[in-house]
Chains A and B, each alone.
Chain A
Amino acid sequence: MMNSMDFNSAIFYVLATILVASSLRVITARNPVHAALFLVLAFFTAGGLWLTLQAEFLAIILVMVYVGAVMVLFLFVVMMLDINLERLREGFWSYLPLGAAIGALMTLEMALVLGGRYFGLESVPDPGTAPAGYSNTKELGRLMFTDYVYPFELASIVLLVAIVAAVVLTKRTRKDNKSPQAGDQIAVQSKDRLRMVSMPSEKKEET
């Protein structure tokens, strides 16, 4: 019989394979919509991986925010764009050196961070299995609203400013805008729209 560790590793390898394969397809898929859908699959699988690390809150939030909201809007845009693949492929060779340099830099940074002494098993030991009744959500909430309350509030203010800025930058009110005002529509009275005219009946002419 398999013990739970083996089972966990088996799940890890299955999810990791799917994650790597779908991430590769994100950059190799010809159709941008397919690429976006593979990105959705990648997010979903990453959520599954986080679940195996007992971070259920982060895993579910990843699915809710990135899969449920961000990627939906992303797909909206990608689906409506008329993307010419030939045009996109034109500049491939001229952009390659720059892209490769950035890629190499990122790999180097990752290697420095992950290979450094702050990330080894000896400095961050495996927390082990959490006891039953341990709530990841509650712990995160407690930390966020006590120890990290100022950074948290600061981050939310930055986001709020970003929202306001986005609205201000894109909002254009047309002068000939005829969109109905619900309040006016509800407040309308019959006398505003209808004029009753008293007409005396006319005598029918003999023909």
Chain B
Amino acid sequence: MEVLLQPLQNLLGPLWPLVWILLKIVGIILPLLLCVAYLTFWERKVIGWMQVRIGPNRVGPWGLLQPIADGVKLLLKEIILPTKASKGIYFIGPALAFATALAAWAVVPFSEGWVVANIDAGVLYLLAITSVGIYSVIIAGWASNSKYPFFAAMRSAAQMVSYEIAMGFALVCVLMISASLNLSDIVRGQGRGMFADMGISLLSWNWLPLLPMFLVYLISGIAETNRAPFDVVEGESEIVAGHMVEYSGMAFAMFFLGEYSNMILVAVMTSVFFLGGWLSPVGFLPDSFVWLAAKSCFILFLFLWFRATFPRYRYDQIMRLGWKVFVPLCMVWLLVVGVWMMSPLNIWK
């Protein structure tokens, strides 16, 4: 790798760092978009199988070209601007949804040293960027100048703000035991401990001591991305397709891409925070990116499974779960972890 890059480095001189960063960004975004495309395909197939249907099977062998056909269709569709919609802001909505969904990937550690920006406050950056993503929903709902998108935007923004609190508290527990805000350090911290020394690193990952927080984070992640069973934002029986009901063509596709890349992000972050990131579950196999991919795929499969299984929550039930169950649970576990760390039984020295 070094030998291959050397001539390029000499050629570009001082511009090299910039080009190298851009190359890394492209190296993340292109596979990510491909993953998004095939996640939609996989989702339709899995839900099809669970409901004893076949799923998409017409375009290409086994329907494999279906996402490509969908993409081309969305690209070629006309983008409609509703009358009296706020023109500039109307298009900022989808752009913001997509941009924040991609920007968050800058700090994701894929393997030892494989990260675009290895910043010290990685967790905070992640929380800040995802909270900016809420604006895409609010802006889209308001700028459409239509009642149903506006209702949906209110619902969805309130839901996202509420679950962000539970999510943040769950992460505080992770930060306490890893004593770092750097995502790579959080992963490395999970590779240490009694079980890791015995060769079963699986049991020293954060999911076991922080089991309630793991569940809170996972469920809040589903609520945060507005996925079923928390997808009141697009409850077909009440408000059609939520804040994006007035959008068509590529403008709609941006929301769609944003939602799915956020789903993948939540899956990867759950793996990083609680399932040991790129660490191998057992001592005799090497750590590698493959493990992170496998863990994330499992979490993504859970997302699809939940969607096929659970009926949609009612809005007041969503709010109750967020505020009256998760937030108090997080507070209690925060105390438990604090006392645990101060006691002689502390396992995170």
Interface residues of A (CB under 8 A from B): 1, 31, 33-34, 37, 40, 44, 56-57, 60-61, 63-64, 67-69, 72-73, 75-76, 79, 135-137, 179-180, 182
Contact = CB atoms under 8 A, between A and B. Distances in A.
B78 interface: no
Contacts, number: 65
B101 interface: no
B157 interface: yes
Interface string B141-182: 010000000100010011001001000000000000000010
Contact of B128 (A33, A37, A64, A180): A64
Contacts of A73: 161
- 10 nearest interchain CB pairs? A68-B131, A63-B128, A60-B124, A64-B128, A60-B128, A1-B14, A56-B121, A79-B142, A135-B120, A72-B134
A137 B120 contact: yes
Given A63-B128, A63-B132, A69 B161 contact: yes
Which secondary structure characterizes the binding site on chain A?
helix
A19 to B, nearest CB: 17
A57 B123 CA distance: 11
A68 B164 contact: yes
Interface string B114-138: 0000011100110110011011001
A40 B121 contact: no
Given A37-B89, A137-B121, A67 B181 contact: no
A167 B116 CA distance: 44
A57 B119 CA distance: 11
A64 B131 contact: yes
B236 interface: no
Contacts of B86: 31
Contact of B316 (A68, A75, A135, A179): A179
B140 interface: no
A60 B129 CA distance: 9
Interface of B: 14, 86, 89, 119-121, 124-125, 127-128, 131-132, 134-135, 138-139, 142, 150, 154, 157-158, 161, 164, 181, 316-317, 320
Contacts of B135: 40, 67, 72
Contacts of A37: 89, 139
B158 to A, nearest CB: 8
B142 A33 contact: yes
Given A60-B124, A61-B124, A137-B124, A68 B181 contact: no
Given A69-B161, A79-B142, A56 B120 contact: yes
A105 to B, nearest CB: 34
Query: Which of A1, A57, A60 has its CB near the most chain B CB atoms (within 10 A)?
Result: A60
Given A67-B135, A76-B138, A137-B120, 16 more contacts: A1-B14, A57-B121, A60-B125, A60-B128, A64-B124, A64-B131, A67-B131, A68-B134, A68-B164, A75-B142, A76-B154, A76-B157, A79-B150, A136-B121, A137-B121, A180-B316
Contacts of A34: 89
A182 B127 CA distance: 31
Contacts of B125: 60
Query: Which of B120, B142, B157 has its CB near the most chain A CB atoms (within 10 A)?
Result: B120
A77 to B, nearest CB: 11
Contacts of A64: 124, 127-128, 131
A33 B164 CA distance: 24
Contacts of B127: 60, 64, 68
A79 B150 CA distance: 9
A157 to B, nearest CB: 17
B124 A67 contact: no
Nearest to A79: B142
Contacts of A56: 119-121
A22 to B, nearest CB: 14
Contacts of A136: 120-121
Nearest to A134: B120
Nearest to A44: B132
Contacts of A179: 316
Contacts of B181: 135, 137
B132 A68 contact: yes
A56 B157 CA distance: 26
A40 B161 CA distance: 16
A136 B124 CA distance: 12
A45 to B, nearest CB: 13
Nearest to B165: A69
Contacts of B161: 69, 72-73
Nearest to A2: B14
A72 B157 CA distance: 8
27 contacts: A1-B14, A31-B86, A33-B142, A34-B89, A40-B135, A56-B119, A56-B121, A57-B121, A57-B124, A61-B124, A63-B132, A64-B128, A67-B135, A68-B131, A68-B134, A69-B131, A72-B138, A75-B138, A79-B138, A79-B142, A79-B150, A135-B181, A136-B120, A136-B121, A137-B121, A179-B316, A182-B320
